[in-house]
């Protein structure tokens, strides 16, 4: 087979480097300083989300079956109220880097949330890794850990915003060739750490000629992220850093969906977030990347676009393949944490103490 008909997984996963796109404008304020919760006053919300709208308003939704009233607070004042289930639109707030909301129940602990997307000119998939509920009713703290696509197109205004948001370390999951062709722009004062998931010996696949082959390549590639030697070393670097200090951390690859997607799936699973929520977070890259992906596919001949699309997508079977590999190679996620990520039980507890509230 000629070299032209073979492709490394790294090349496939960085294919999205040709994509361009601008994050949808959204008014997004100072990072939350909300840290560890009190178990005796559990957060009563079973679901809650903040979504910034294109017109500058915010939709806030929640479910808290055990309470009678919820006050929605922003910038130190109550901006809406509702019952145990609510959906409100909040308007008239000043433009800010990031708009935070406190959902204050009449009993139990408040929940602090913002829109997940960080609106930047130079990325389309920069989002908060938190804001999700765990199996036991705690919540992953927002404003601490972020996941994103490539940072080479950040504007000076973007860099200033990330500095204000408190970004302190940037874990680059990309290969040497990706880093050389599209070097990160890093906010002032932030540490830059290479954590190359695929390495120089990225697995080589036959270049797919059908959509089915492309999908299978992504499924097989996901397994490499779980049990590949480079992957284990890279994700261990990220997780040991998170255990030391889980504030102002970001990790990214090129499209922010595959290597980054597994980092978030592993983190949320370690924190006790249910699999269906982990999957929803993973699949959200399709939504955030929709415009950029559509533009890339539109620029190709139809036959080529059909083969290329599975490599731009995230699909449930891709992530399922990663979790299946965890079971096959390690027997359980707890063993994967220990054997592949280098996390002992004490470190997992510390991660939870740092990143969970309620």
CATH code for residues 3-24+118-357: 3.90.190.10
CATH class of residue range 25-116? mainly beta
Encode pLDDT of 257-295 as tens digits.
999 999 999 999 999 999 999 999 999 999 999 999 999
**What's residue 164's pLDDT?**
97
Question: Known catalytic residue: 11?
Answer: no
Residues 248 and 141: their CA atoms lie apart, in Å, by 12
Residue 23, classed as helix, strand or coil, is coil
**What's residue 203's pLDDT?**
72
> Tokens 């874990």 belong to which residue?
171
> Tokens 């910034």 belong to which residue?
52
What proportion of the chain, given as a percentage, has pLDDT over 90? 86
Q: Which three-class secondary structure string do you get for 70-110? A: EEEEECCEEEEEECCEEEEEECCCCCCCCCEEEEEECCCCC
- According to DSSP, the β-strands at 145-148 and 204-206 are unpaired
DSSP string, 245-288: --SSEEEE-SSSSSHHHHHHHHHHHHTT--HHHHHHHHHHHHHH
- Among candidate residues 17, 64, 253, 311, the one labeled active-site is 253
Which among 37, 43, 38 is positioned nearest to 66, based on CA atoms? 43
The DSSP H or E segment spanning 237 is helix 229-244
Domain with CATH 3.90.190.10 in the chain: 3-24+118-357
**What's residue 14's pLDDT?**
64
Instruction: Report, as ranges of residue numbers, the positions in the chain whose pLDDT lies below 50.
Output: 1-5, 16-40
**What's residue 9's pLDDT?**
72
Give the bridge partners for 102, in sequence order. Answer: 73, 112
**What's residue 206's pLDDT?**
76
Domain with CATH 2.60.40 in the chain: 25-116
């Amino acid at each position: 087979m000629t070299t032209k008909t073979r492709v490394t997984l790294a090349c496939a996963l960085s294919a999205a480097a040709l994509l361009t796109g601008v994050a949808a404008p959204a008014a997004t304020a100072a990072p939350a300083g909300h840290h560890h919760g009190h178990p005796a006053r559990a957060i009563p919300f079973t679901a809650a989300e903040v979504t910034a709208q294109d017109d500058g308003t915010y939709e806030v939704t929640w479910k808290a079956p055990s309470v009678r009233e919820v006050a929605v607070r922003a910038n130190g004042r109550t901006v809406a109220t509702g019952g145990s289930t609510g959906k409100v639109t909040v308007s008239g707030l000043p433009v800010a880097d990031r708009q935070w909301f406190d959902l204050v129940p009449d009993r139990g602990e408040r929940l602090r949330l913002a829109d997940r997307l960080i609106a930047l000119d130079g990325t389309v998939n920069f989002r908060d890794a938190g804001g999700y509920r765990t199996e036991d009713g705690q919540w992953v703290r927002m404003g601490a850990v972020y996941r994103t696509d490539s940072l080479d197109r950040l504007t000076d205004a973007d860099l200033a915003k990330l500095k204000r948001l408190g970004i302190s370390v940037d874990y680059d999951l990309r290969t040497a060739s990706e880093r050389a062709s599209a070097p990160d722009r890093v906010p002032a004062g932030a540490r830059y750490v290479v954590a190359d998931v695929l390495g120089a010996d990225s697995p080589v696949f036959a270049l797919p000629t059908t959509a089915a082959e492309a999908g299978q390549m992504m499924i097989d590639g996901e397994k490499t992220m779980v049990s590949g030697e480079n992957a284990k070393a890279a994700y261990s670097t990220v997780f040991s850093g998170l255990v030391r200090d889980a504030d102002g951390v970001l990790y990214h690859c090129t499209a922010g969906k595959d290597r980054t997607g597994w980092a978030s799936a592993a983190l949320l699973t370690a924190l006790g977030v249910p699999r269906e929520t982990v999957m929803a977070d993973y699949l959200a890259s399709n939504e955030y990347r929709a415009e950029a992906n559509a533009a890339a596919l539109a620029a190709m001949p139809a036959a080529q676009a059909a083969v290329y699309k599975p490599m731009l997508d995230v699909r449930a079977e891709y992530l399922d393949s990663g979790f299946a590999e965890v079971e096959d190679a390690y027997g359980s996620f707890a063993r994967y944490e220990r054997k592949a990520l280098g996390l002992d039980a004490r470190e997992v507890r510390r991660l939870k103490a740092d990143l969970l509230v309620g």
